[in-house]
Amino acid sequence: MDKLIVHANAKINLFLEVLDKRTDGYHNIETVFQSIDLHDTLIFKEQKAGVINLSSDNKDLPLGSSNLISKACELLLKESDKNYGVDIQLIKRIPIGAGLAGGSADAGGTLIGLNEFWELGYSIGDLVELGKKLGADVPFCMIGGTALGKERGDSITKLKPLSNVYVVIANPGFEVSTAYAYASLANLGLTRSKKNGNIIVDDINNSDVLAIAKNLYNAFEQLVINEHPIIREIKAEMQNLGALGALMTGSGPTVFALTDDISVAENIKRKLESRVRFCVISQTSNHSIIKA
């Protein structure tokens, strides 16, 4: 194969609760993931054996061994015991360190893309198990759609698709460390009263977008708002402009608004885009990795 192009979709969390700390240092969580059609693009081209070349249009992105695309390449070569090469060009649209799982999406896209590009023959189940070694969000970013995540977030149960919902994404332009967010939450005490995700799962099964929007929840949100009040301001403006609901995704700082009305989405974007670094209208998607 001379060339392969895949699109790797971002995710938002419609619900996110942190339960308890695990013996492996991670936390057990309960979350409802949703793919959106905001995506990065990965272009795979032939390269001589043993040479992995990664490039990107985003100059702020580290391209060395710490990059999840590089780690995915190394993992797949080790697992397959091959010495193949590849040239990977990354067109970056998902903001970095934004709570949208851009790095995890790129890693998942790399595993799925290279499996086809190198004709390795792994099943999606095999690739998802490999993805767990790269990060807790990687399995969902390979499965996609609407799904319930448990354990580290990497035990995935598909839910009924949430279709035709507009998602306005607003990123204020700074990063929030996931490790910092978990440490701050632990300082509050993991014995605090926990929210149950069953309500929003029922709303999804009933295709009740208004109820979903009313039951959005993120355990990290108030902690991050305490440090960065602009997140509260963005949420309030989204809701004042007619969003059905708004929430910070992941460990932040990106905030999303849900609406079933494109004119509302366009108005929110118009009013917010001068105040934030990144603002786009996206839509819910039932896919994660898409071949172009």
Peptide bond into 172 cis (omega under 30): no
What gap in Å lies between CA 33 and CA 14, rounded to an integer? 6
Same domain assignment for residues 137 and 77: yes
At residue 190, does pLDDT exceed 70? Answer: no
What is residue 193's predicted lDDT score, i.e. its pLDDT? 78
In a domain, residue 290? The reply is no
In a domain, residue 291? The reply is no
DSSP state, 95? P
Catalytic residue, chosen from 11, 40, 106, 203, is 11
Same domain assignment for residues 71 and 133: yes
What is residue 15's predicted lDDT score, i.e. its pLDDT? 98
Q: How does pLDDT run across 45-86, given as a tens digit for each residue?
A: 999 999 999 999 999 999 999 999 999 999 999 999 999 999
In a domain, residue 45? The reply is yes
Q: For residue 11, indicate whether it is catalytic.
A: yes
Nearest to 69 by CA among 25, 19, 37, 103: 103
Domain that holds residue 197: 166-283
Catalytic residue, chosen from 20, 24, 37, 137, is 137
In a domain, residue 292? The reply is no
206-212: list long-range contacts, CB under 8 Å, 24+ apart.
207/160, 207/162, 209/162, 209/165, 209/244, 209/258, 209/260, 210/244, 212/14, 212/162, 212/245, 212/258
On the CB side of 99, how many CA atoms lie within 13 Å of its CA? 29
Q: Are 13 and 33 in contact (CB under 8 A)?
A: yes
Contacts of 147 (CB under 8 A, 6+ apart): 32, 33, 140, 156, 157, 158, 159
Same domain assignment for residues 104 and 189: no
Q: For residue 154, indicate whether it is catalytic.
A: no
Same domain assignment for residues 19 and 153: yes
In a domain, residue 222? The reply is yes
Q: For the residues 169-189, what does the mean pLDDT come to? A: 83
What is the number of structural domains in the chain?
A: 2
What gap in Å lies between CA 146 and CA 160, rounded to an integer? 7
Cα dihedral sign, 85-89-95-101: negative
At residue 191, does pLDDT exceed 60? Answer: no
Same domain assignment for residues 200 and 141: no
Same domain assignment for residues 194 and 67: no
DSSP state, 164? S
CATH number of the domain within which 197 lies: 3.30.70.890
Same domain assignment for residues 154 and 184: no
Q: In terms of residues, how long is the chain?
A: 292
Same domain assignment for residues 180 and 128: no
